[in-house]
Amino acid sequence: MDLFVVRHATAVPQRPDLPDEARPLTPEGRKRFQRAVRGMDRFGVRIDRLHHSPWLRAVETAELLTRLIDDGGETVVEPGLTRVPDEKLLASLVGERVAAVGHQPWLAELVSLLVCGSARHAARFDLRKGGLVWLQGELRPRRMTMRAFLPPAALRRI
């Protein structure tokens, strides 16, 4: 399978009167991510199942990604993307070309788990906001290889 791991785009900063899960994207973050999505499109990213965290910034990011979903594809709200990745999360990521939109540090831990076999090397995968990691292989620890690691600026230039 192809797994596209996408970190949410730039959201408004944390502040005391706004719960972390309710932070929306900034207008600039939205605009820049739209350009990144066009880059993903040109890069050949196609999705049949788009999983995303329920937090607002991930929902809004995933919405912008829906233009890459094939006919008949679907989106799935996935609470496992708001915590340390586990077996349940891996079992839920079903499909041939799957996207997972979520948050750091858990996305880097997911990439580390799937590529290196454990989450210990997560620090090596510094996924920027709006960035993409393209993995390919079997969705099990150490059974995936990295096809691309694209920061948002690179995506916007494609």
| Nearest residue (CB) to other proteins, 76 versus 158 | 76
| Nearest residue (CB) to other proteins, 87 versus 138 | 87
Tell me, residue by residue from 77 to 96, as one string, x for binding to other proteins by CB under 8 A and - for no binding: xxxx----------------
Interacting residue with other proteins among 25, 59, 68, 113 (CB under 8 A): 59
Beta strand pairing call for 144-150 and 132-137: antiparallel
Is 141 one of the binding residues for other proteins (CB under 8 A)?
Answer: no
Tokens of residue 20, six digits: 């972390």
Interacting residue with other proteins among 30, 52, 97, 103 (CB under 8 A): 52
Is 76 one of the binding residues for other proteins (CB under 8 A)?
Answer: yes
Tokens of residue 145, six digits: 């290889």
| Nearest residue (CB) to other proteins, 58 versus 111 | 58
Q: Are 96 and 6 in contact (CB under 8 A)?
A: no
Is 122 one of the binding residues for other proteins (CB under 8 A)?
Answer: no
Interacting residue with other proteins among 12, 21, 128, 154 (CB under 8 A): 21
| Nearest residue (CB) to other proteins, 69 versus 135 | 69
The count of chain residues that interact with other proteins, using the rule CB under 8 A, is 19
